[in-house]
Amino acid sequence: MLTRIDHIGIACFDLDKTVEFYRATYGFEVFHSEVNEEQGVREAMLRINGTSDGGASYLQLLEPTREDSAVGKWLAKNGEGVHHIAFGTEDVDGDAADIREKGVRVLYDEPRTGSMGSRITFLHPKDCHGVLTELVTSRADD
């Protein structure tokens, strides 16, 4: 069962410059940053608020580390902006299977490692009214 908006992913050309914009304009600070080699991105998670289920909502700023990454290709085609929306779930495997049974293409056969040790998968944007959608199960100690 999807429980919350976990994050909104924003693709950018210059992570440091984009982080500074969100800090100076809205007062958001970096909660976590990392490089995800598998996804080919450098990212910063800006925490917006906590939630009653122990999770939180974030803005995820994504800068590609290589041109052939999914985010790199997306930036080349679309420019900077909203890349995806992510919904939090306690069971990414179960929810992905349920959604797949409803005819929505799930992009990964098995969930992968995402930000802060989470487990993630994506749903095809053509099956979600043009929106790349991510399902996220946060690491147990978050």
pLDDT-derived band at 49 (thresholds 50, 70, 90) equals confident
The domain segmentation of the chain, as residue ranges, is 1-135
What is the model's pLDDT at position 54?
A: 60
Mean pLDDT rounded to a whole number for the chain? 93
Pairing of strands 41-50, 30-36: antiparallel
What is the model's pLDDT at position 139?
A: 84
User: Which two structure tokens, joined as six digits, stand for 56?
Assistant: 């939180």
118 exposed, middle or buried (CB, 10 Å; 0-12, 13-18, 19+)?
buried
- The set of catalytic residues is 7, 43, 60, 84, 134
Asked whether the beta carbons of 7 and 86 are under 8 A apart, the reply is yes
- Give residue-wise pLDDT tens across range 15-33: 999 999 999 999 999 999 9
- Is this model's pTM higher than 0.95 or not? no
Enter the DSSP assignment of 121.
E
Q: Where are the alpha helices (DSSP H) in the chain?
A: 15-26, 70-78, 92-101
What is the model's pLDDT at position 19?
A: 98
Q: Is 25 helix (H, G, I), strand (E, B) or coil?
A: helix
pLDDT-derived band at 142 (thresholds 50, 70, 90) equals very low
What pairs with residue 64 in β-bridges? 41
Give the span between the Cα atoms of 44 and 60, in whole angstroms.
6
- Give residue-wise pLDDT tens across range 83-133: 999 999 999 999 999 999 999 999 999 999 999 999 999 999 999 999 999
Has domain 1-135 been given CATH number 3.10.180.10? Answer: yes
Asked whether the beta carbons of 104 and 124 are under 8 A apart, the reply is yes
Average pLDDT of the segment spanning 11-15: 98
